[in-house]
Amino acid sequence: MMRGMGNMQGMMKQVQKMQKEMAGAQEALNAKEFTGAASNDLVTVTFTGNRKMVDLAIKPEVVDPDDVEMMQDLLLTAVNDALSKIDTETEKTMGQYTKGLPGF
């Protein structure tokens, strides 16, 4: 009976260790910056890993009041590019903790 309790304590320690590692990995990911770009960097956006936009840059040559749709398309492309990079890095970083777990 005591032998089983030792295994349970060992498992709990492993779970606690993994939780600390996950929290550290998530914190590092949140601090990292991801830049998305559109059309040769005419528009760039920068997000942190927790999906907060921290910068938006638009080159003057792309500003055309007669073609607002192009600006909108460039912004969408740059934002989606950055968010895709965040998703890829999140899966790479956090996926190691969820691999094999049901529902992940």
CATH number at residue 62: 3.30.1310.10
Q: Is 82 a member of any domain?
A: yes
Q: What is the mean pLDDT of each run of 10 residues along the chain (104 residues)?
A: 71 90 92 96 96 96 93 96 96 82 62
Q: Is 11 a member of any domain?
A: no
Q: Is 69 a member of any domain?
A: yes
pLDDT for position 3:
62
Hey, what are 4's tokens? 């089983």
Hey, what are 88's tokens? 């890829």
Q: Is 74 a member of any domain?
A: yes
Q: Is 48 a member of any domain?
A: yes
Q: Is 23 a member of any domain?
A: no
Domain containing 83 equals 31-96
The total number of structural domains that make up the chain: 1
Q: Is 52 a member of any domain?
A: yes
pLDDT for position 101:
65
pLDDT for position 9:
87
Burial classification of residue 93, based on how many CB atoms lie within 10 Å of its CB (0-12 exposed, 13-18 middle, 19 or more buried): middle
